[in-house]
Structure 1
């Protein structure tokens, strides 16, 4: 679907690309998204000569792809109408001339003798079997039900099942209820009607690769980011966006991660999170409680006091203490007098290689988890900082605005710890070489600066030292921000120049 140029009004905000690690995007309110939807509906309505409700059903059926809808509709309008639920599927009618003759005979007969009007029969709703109902509703298929059953059915579909495409209650009927019918069935239930409209908007956004709904709870804003709409672009950019409703509503446009995972690409961050989910606790337990078989390297847990081990996989017998073959221990197994035997050394070398891989993963994971935990603890640091800011106001002549340097410094620490967290995920998958060493140099400089700033924020406040503390915190916060920009800029430039090499296969890279 083609997106028109968005009009600038108070409900939209634009974010221009200022740095190489940033992307251009635009935030849209639900009202503006509804206007975009209505423009598409009016366009189709004018071309096909149908009402707006019918045009909306046709567009939803084709996932809001106007060009595809026009092509299909021009080829066979009847089949598209049936598939979209606009008209019911019915058997082929008799040829036209025959129908005309039957119609003529009936008319002639009626002129000869007027038949009495049929006696009104009480209506029995096929759903609730209540014969006292006087208000009914029916779609174009003619399946009639009482308004109470329609209201309950429509409300249940919207509120409990999250459906925006509501099919007729008639058996084997595929007719879809248009929007005016749904609103009439809901009567005065404004809350459910608003939920229905939100579901329709979500369907429109989900059908457009240039749009993404803000994932934060209760937020109805949408982000437009054409620069990150294709998979190929995700090998060179990390499309972090903010929905505009709240600065904390930061998420990745290119993947489901609800947060800023710069400088790591979406494909790499996905691999890392999956590995952490599968391996973190298991790896720690394996490291502490198991060893590898000296012959087949199967992981073995010692479940008894005896050091005479037998691998269940290959039946190899070895000593748990020195990892040498058990046959050479004789009756003096407890002394491990063959500790320096060649076979024992080779076995230990094989185990060391296996353990080295585990140790390497835990090295990066523990540091990743530590920065994640430190970022979460920033909430407590905010509380401490507010108290310090109040103390400064009471003990000095500084105004509330002038003591905001503490809060800004805390914000910078939290942002940079998030960056540091993801640098360890990237470093884990980077191949050895000069580029990785330069990346880790930038990582080290940022980490050292962040720790220095955190220590300053934790330091006690003495009235006579406040001017000095203010200067130190301000200077260090500026330096930390600069180091963070240098790391992100260099990494983003590396993606554009294809400098980075991975030690595993990464989606999108040869």
Structure 2
């Protein structure tokens, strides 16, 4: 726990402790709903990690298939009724590489070869930073669950990044958690309630919890963001002037260049 002056203390968590908190919430929901942890994590993500909202909607729902489809999940109750046909490996032609080989799929019953699955998921994770990847089939929104992803992806670096992306999505959805903005810190600040106040990480960085910028008293977060936007806009204007004008070699007055690159008679 770290306090600044006489202010309220905040907790500093490393990624491992954040994962423990996340898994505790998943386990709580799984024990109530009697569903697998990987399904519960996807549901929690859909409801922005609001456990109470998820449970309320679950017990209010009269159509379980629609409830799960809203979160891009095939109802596990539907899978139980019809078996795991979509999960069973088959021998057929892969729709991606067009090779006839062993294919594996999801509950949506779309199958692809192991090499194409690995390539597809690794690209989504490493290049696009996705923690929630949809089925490769065109217009199929069903999410590849954690267990399937970690089974199909072969690269240990991709698996490590995938786990980190899951933690990141948990932090970003939680109003009481925020990553320390310091480069290469990787710690998370946890507060008891959301407000604009300074918080301090164990790395020494002090920042505003509400907006994530350096502490900016007495300016409020809204005005700070407007000021930063103005500075960025002014910087873009300066870049444009630099790229589209030249100084007169005699009088040092800036002239605007025409589209062709020739000097015009317009002064800046």
Q: What range describes the TM-score normalised by the shorter chain of this pair?
A: 0.7 to 0.9
Aligned residue number for residue 109 of structure 2? 142
Partners in 2 of 1:280 and 1:191 — Cα distance?
Answer: 38
Output one character per residue of 1:299-321: Cα deviation in whole Å (capped at 9) or x when no partner: xxxx9xxxxxxxxxxxxxxxxxx
Partners in 2 of 1:127 and 1:56 — Cα distance?
Answer: 29
Which of 17, 35, 52 is equivalent to 1:32?
A: 17
Q: Matches of residues 427-466 of structure 1 in structure 2 within 5 Å? A: none
Q: CA deviation at 1:166?
A: 0.9
Q: Matches of residues 199-238 of structure 1 in structure 2 within 5 Å? A: 199-227=165-193, 229=194, 233-234=195-196
Output one character per residue of 1:353-397: Cα deviation in whole Å (capped at 9) or x when no partner: xxxxxxxxxxxxxxxxxxxxxxxxxxxxxxxxxxxxxxxxxxxxx
Which of 215, 218, 221 is equivalent to 1:260?
A: 215
1:82 aligns with 2:69: yes
**Closer, same or farther in 2 for the Cα pair 1:145/1:251, shift >3 Å?**
same
1:128 aligns with 2:86: no
1:269 aligns with 2:224: yes
Partners in 2 of 1:277 and 1:157 — Cα distance?
Answer: 31
What is the total number of aligned residue pairs between the two structures? 224
Partner secondary structure for residue 264 of structure 1: coil
Aligned residue number for residue 60 of structure 1? 45
For structure 2, which runs of at least 5 residues remain unmatched after alignment? 76-89, 238-254, 256-268
Partners in 2 of 1:142 and 1:86 — Cα distance?
Answer: 13
Structure with higher Rg: it is 1
Q: CA deviation at 1:276?
A: 4.3
Decide whether the 8 Å contact of 2:3 with 2:200 is kept in 1: no
Q: CA deviation at 1:241?
A: 2.2
**Closer, same or farther in 2 for the Cα pair 1:171/1:277, shift >3 Å?**
closer
Decide whether the 8 Å contact of 1:23 with 1:240 is kept in 2: no
Partners in 1 of 2:8 and 2:219 — Cα distance?
Answer: 15
Q: CA deviation at 1:275?
A: 4.3
Q: CA deviation at 1:214?
A: 1.9
For structure 1, which runs of at least 5 residues remain unmatched after alignment? 1-13, 89-120, 283-302, 304-510
Partners in 1 of 2:186 and 2:125 — Cα distance?
Answer: 17
If each structure's strand is expressed as a fraction of its own residues, which one has the higher value?
2
Output one character per residue of 1:228-286: Cα deviation in whole Å (capped at 9) or x when no partner: x1xxx43xxxx222332x22x333212142x333443323433443444456999xxxx
Partners in 1 of 2:128 and 2:230 — Cα distance?
Answer: 33
Partners in 2 of 1:59 and 1:280 — Cα distance?
Answer: 41
Q: CA deviation at 1:79?
A: 1.5
If each structure's helix is expressed as a fraction of its own residues, which one has the higher value?
1
Q: CA RMSD in A?
A: 2.7
Which of 131, 137, 161 is equivalent to 1:170?
A: 137
Partner secondary structure for residue 189 of structure 2: strand
Q: Which has the higher contact order (CA 8 A, sep 6+)?
A: 2
Which of 151, 156, 172 is equivalent to 1:190?
A: 156
Partner secondary structure for residue 212 of structure 1: strand
**Closer, same or farther in 2 for the Cα pair 1:279/1:158, shift >3 Å?**
closer
Partners in 1 of 2:129 and 2:20 — Cα distance?
Answer: 22
Decide whether the 8 Å contact of 2:131 with 2:165 is kept in 1: yes
Q: CA deviation at 1:215?
A: 2.4
TM, length-normalised to structure 1: 0.41
TM, length-normalised to structure 2: 0.75
Partner secondary structure for residue 15 of structure 1: coil
